[in-house]
Structure 1
Amino acid sequence: MSLIAGRKRRMGDEDAEQQSKRMKLTYGDYTIGWVAALPEEYAAAEAMLDEIHEDIPRSRGDPNTYTFGRIGGHNVVIAGLPSDGYGTVNAATVANNMHRTFPSVEDFLVVGIAGGTGLTKNADVRLGDIVVGDQVIQYDLRKELHDQKFQTKAFPLRPSERLRTALTKLKSTHLKDGSKVPTLICEMVAENPKMKSFANRRSLKDFLFHDTYNHPELNNTCDNCDRSKLVKRKRRETNDPKIYYGVIASGNSLIKSPEKRRELVEQFQALCIEMEGAGIIESHRSLVIRSICDYADSHKNKSWQPYAAAAAAAFAKELILAMPISEDQASKMGTCIAGGSDYSQLMNSS
C-alpha cells in the first residue's frame, strides 16, 4: 500500500481545528523538484503524490505554475513546461525558475515519455519499458566543419551523487523484491478512476517495424501496416515494464526517423530519445526517467503516451521512497503531515 492510501487530500480542505495543528509549508520545505513536459506526464506526477498541499503564493519573477505535495517523507514541487513549447531551452528555463524560487530543492527529476531505440545488440527496449539515464547526451550539440559536415561535440552528463546512490539502493531492492511500478499504477487508477487509460497496457499493441518500412501516410494507426515487416523479438513472460539503465539521447528535434535512431544507437548506444533532459541535467545534475511510447520512427502515434507517463511517474515515486530524509525533514514532517499524525507511525504503515 502507498502511504495514507485512500486518504489523499488537498491541504486547505480540512476544518480549522485540523489546520491549526499544521505547520504551513514554505518555499524552504520542498527538497525535490519534478519537471513534466506534457499534460499526461503532469497528471501522472500529481496522481503519484501521497498528499497534495495547498498552493504557495507565486514568487515575483517566476512564471511557472506548480503543484505541491508529499511522497513518503519528501515534499515535492511539480512544474510543467509551457503548453506551446518543448525542448531543452524551455526545460532549462522552467528548472532554473524553480530553483530560484525553491533554493532548498536539492534533487531534480525529469520524468515522462520518450522514443525507444528498439532491439539493438545491447538491449531490447519495448513500448512501456522504463529507461533511467545513467548518462544523458545532447546529441545535437555539434560543430560545423567545411563541406557542410558536422562534428558532434556532445559529452555525457550524469545525475548527482545523491541520486546515483539512491538508484543503487533501489536496484538492490528490485533484485530482492521486484519493482512496485505495476502496483503503484494500479493504486493510482484506484484513487483516480478517470485515469483508467493510464493503466490500459493490455489493450495496446507493440509493433516494431524494420528501419526500411515506412508508415503509410494515409493510415492513422498501424493496424493495416505490413506484419511481414515486423522485427522478430522473443515473447516476454510478463507485461510488466522492464527497467533499463543507460544512455538517454536528448535534443531539440522530434525524431521520426529510423535512420537517425540507428545513428544515435551506433554513436552513443542510446536506449531512448527525448527533448528535455539535457537542458536540466547540466545545471542541476538531475535524473532523467523515461518510459517508451514509440520507436522514434514514422509509425509514431500517441496511444502509448498515457501508460508510458504513468510508468515513468511510478518509477520516480519508487525512487523518491528509497531516498533518505534528513533529520530536519523528519522533524518538520512529524509536525505538519496528516493533520498532526505521528510521523513514525505513518512511515511504519507503508
Structure 2
Amino acid sequence: MKDLDPSVYTIAWIAPLPIEAQAAMHMLDARHEGGFPLTHGDDYVFRAGEMCGYNVVIAQLPREYGTGAAAALASQIKKFFPNLWFTLLVGVAAGLPSARRDIRLGDVIVAAPEGDTPGLVAYDLGKETTNGFQLLKAGHVLMPTESVVQSAIDSIANEYPDEARLFLPHYNRIKGILHRTGNFADPGQDQDTLYAYDAQTDTTSVVSRAPRPTEKRTCIWYGPIGSGERLVKNARVRDDLRDRYHLIGLEMEAAGTMNRVAAGVIRGVCDYGDEHKNKQWQPYAAAMAAAYAKAVLDRIRPLKRAGATVKEKEGGDDAVKPANGGGHGGNDESGASSGHGIYMYNKENKGQTGTVFSGGHNSFTFN
C-alpha cells in the first residue's frame, strides 16, 4: 500500500458515525489511494481525498462515541497532521423545534452564536448549585469556530433563499448511491412525526404540521447547538435544554472536539431527541449535512488551488485515483435541483463577500 504524506493535508473532516463517513467519502472529488504510516499508539485509520481543490482527511470515531472519544480523536488529528488549517465536524443530530423554529427532519443545523449564547454549548460542563445545574460560562470555555469557516457560513447565509444551487447539486449526485441499509434518499415528509411534550400532564401528543411545498422542502437553521455525553431520548429533558440554552439541536461530539481544535459544526436533523428516536433518517440527514459542508469548502477558494494529486512519500508515483462511477463520487456537479428548495433562517448579515483571507500555506478568497 502506498504511503500518503500527512503534511499535505490542510482540512480535517470529522464524521463520527459510519453513515456520516460514507456520506463524506462520496462528497470527495477524488480519493487518494493508500494509507498513512501508523506507529504504535495510533488508534485511528484516516481516509483521504480531494474536495474543492483541498486535500482533505476524513476521520471516523471507533465504536464508542461521545465527547471523550471525540476529544481523543481530535488530539490525534492535531498531532498527526501538522499543517491542518481548520476542521469540520459533520454528521447528524437531534433537532429541537420550537414555536419560533419549525425545524424538521432532514433540515440542516449549523452552530452559530445567538445573542449572548455561543454557537456551541457544552451542557454537561457545569456544577450543581442550590438553583439547579449551572452551566460554566455557557460553553465559552470551548474554542470558537475558525474565523474563515464562520465567514464562509455567513456568506452562504446571506444568499437569496432560492440559492439551492449552493449545495443541492452535491446531494443530488449521491442520493441514489447504495450503502449497507439503503441509499441517501429522502424518506418523505409523511415519515416525519413530531411529538410535543406537555409539562402539566407529563404526556406527549402528535403535532399537526402541514407538509412543506417541494420548493421549500429543506431549511437551514443557524444557532446554538448543545453537546454532551448524554444521549437525549426524552422529550421533557429535550425541551428543558432547548429553553434553558436557546438550542436548535443536540449532539455528542462537538464539545470534545472543540476542546482540542477549532471546528465548524454542521449537522443534519435525523430525530427530535425523544423516545421515538430511530435511525431511519440518518442517511438522508448525513448526506444533507455533508452537501452543505462541501458548499462551505467551495466558498473558501484558494487563489492558487491546492494540488490535485498526492505523491507517495517514496518514489513519487501518483497516488490519486479519480472517484467516478459505481457510486464513488466524481467531479460532476451539474445535478439539477429537482425543485428541491433551500431556505435559510436565523442568521444576521455578517458576510464579507470578496474579502481575502490568509491562513496556513495559502491565501483564500470568497466567491
CA 1:52–1:246 in structure 2 vs 1: closer, same or farther (change >3 Å)? same
TM-score between both structures, scaled by the size of structure 2 = 0.75
Is 1:298 the counterpart of 2:278? The answer is no
Give distance in 2, aligned partners of 1:318 and 1:115. 22
- 1:1-350 aligned at under 5 Å gives the runs 26-60=5-39, 61-83=41-63, 85-118=64-97, 120-134=98-112, 135-145=119-129, 149-153=132-136, 154-156=138-140, 157=142, 158-173=144-159, 175=161, 177-189=163-175, 192-194=177-179, 197-202=183-188, 205-212=191-198, 229-238=205-214, 240-325=217-302, 327=304, 330=305, 332-333=307-308
Q: Secondary structure of the residue that 2:260 maps to in structure 1?
A: helix
Cα separation, 1, equivalents of 2:333 and 2:271? 38
The Cα of 1:251 is off from its aligned counterpart by 0.3
- Give the direction of change, closer, same or farther, for the CA distance of 1:39–1:347 in structure 2 (3 Å limit): closer
Q: CA deviation at 1:28?
A: 1.4
Deviation of 1:164 after TM superposition, in Å, equals 0.8
CA distance in 1, matches of 2:267, 2:321: 36
Residues matched between the structures, number = 306
Measure the CA separation in 1 of the matches of 2:212 and 2:291. 21
Distance 1:71 1:204, change over 3 A: farther
Distance in 1, Cα, partners of 2:276 & 2:38 = 43
- Indicate conservation of the 8 Å contact 1:211/1:259, yes or no: yes
Q: Secondary structure of 2:93's match?
A: strand
| Higher fraction of helix | 1
Counterpart contact for 1:199–1:307, Cα < 8 Å: yes
Q: Which runs of 5+ in 2 are unaligned?
A: 113-118, 312-317, 323-329, 335-367
Over 3 Å counting, the alpha-carbon distance change for 1:55 and 1:177 in structure 2 is same
Root-mean-square deviation (CA), in Å?
A: 3.1
Letter of the 2:49 counterpart: G
CA shift in 2, pair 1:334/1:52, >3 Å: closer
Q: For each residue in 1:29-75, what CA deviation from the matched residue of structure 2 results, as whole angstroms up to 9, or x when unmatched? A: 11110111111111111111111102233332321111101111111
Contact between 1:64 and 1:98, CA under 8 Å: does it hold in 2? no
Deviation at 1:348, TM superposition (A): 12
Secondary structure class of the residue paired with 1:289: strand
User: Contact 1:139–1:152 at 8 Å: present in 2 too?
Assistant: yes
CA distance in 1, matches of 2:9, 2:126: 36
The 3 A distance-change label for structure 1 pair 331 and 297 is closer
Deviations 1:57-96 (A, max 9, x none): 333232111110111111110111111x111110011011
Encode CA deviations 1:281-335: one digit per residue, 9 max, x unaligned. Answer: 23311011111111101111111111111111111111111112253xx263389
Task: Normalising by structure 1, report the TM-score.
Answer: 0.78
Provide the rounded CA distance (Å) in 2 between the counterparts of 1:101 and 1:167: 27
Paired amino acid for 1:314: A
Percent identity, aligned pairs only, is 34
Tell me which protein shows more strand as a share of its residues.
2
Residue type matched to 2:293 in 1?
Answer: A
Contact persistence 2:230–2:252 (CA under 8 A):
yes
CA contact (8 A) 2:6 2:36 kept: no
**Offset from partner CA, 1:86-120 (integer Å, 9 cap, x none):** 111100110110111102111111111111112x1
- Per the alignment, residue 21 of structure 1 pairs with none
